[in-house]
Structure 1
């Protein structure tokens, strides 16, 4: 499979995973497929560009918590992206926390399925 097609398929499957989350987690609402696509795109960009910098900046606390602070970073990034996209609503921090955790598990499964 050529790389642009694989990237588009990964993006669509990540958006589908995002559409599945409100069925499992109360307090999360994704109103449309367009909102899911935009959110999946923004989450991918932020996880690729901003998350590594945040992890580097918070490295001492991440080491002290044995990596668990990374879950907090993921929750805040998920909550922030949801705040940027109209059509995606996250009720509170704990909803963002569990949503980010489950979303990362689902996207990991997508990445494993599409691995070469």
Structure 2
């Protein structure tokens, strides 16, 4: 009986912790919206919601936000799928995105500006 109580307590702690993490990992409202490379909104765009990123017309993928995981000091949007190393850094001070197609420190970041 004691084991059941302990296991139940641990499971409830796991569920509460994952719920808190999920809430903290949502993309901030300020970073959500439609973005385009260099602000060319009539071309291919990227749509970001609280938990998804749709890259240039592809199907939306699950993402999470890491508030302090950026070499520039900004928060970064990462794909949940581990094979994807590319990410978007949200510069809240200028309301712009930096797209890192090869991950941090690899290649040149591409500037994205808000469309709406």
Q: Greater strand percent: which structure?
A: 2
Tell which structure's C-alpha radius of gyration is larger: 2
Q: Greater helix percent: which structure?
A: 1
Verify same fold: TM over 0.5. no
Task: Give the alignment's TM-score, normalised by structure 1.
Answer: 0.28
Higher relative contact order (CA 8 A, sep 6+): 1
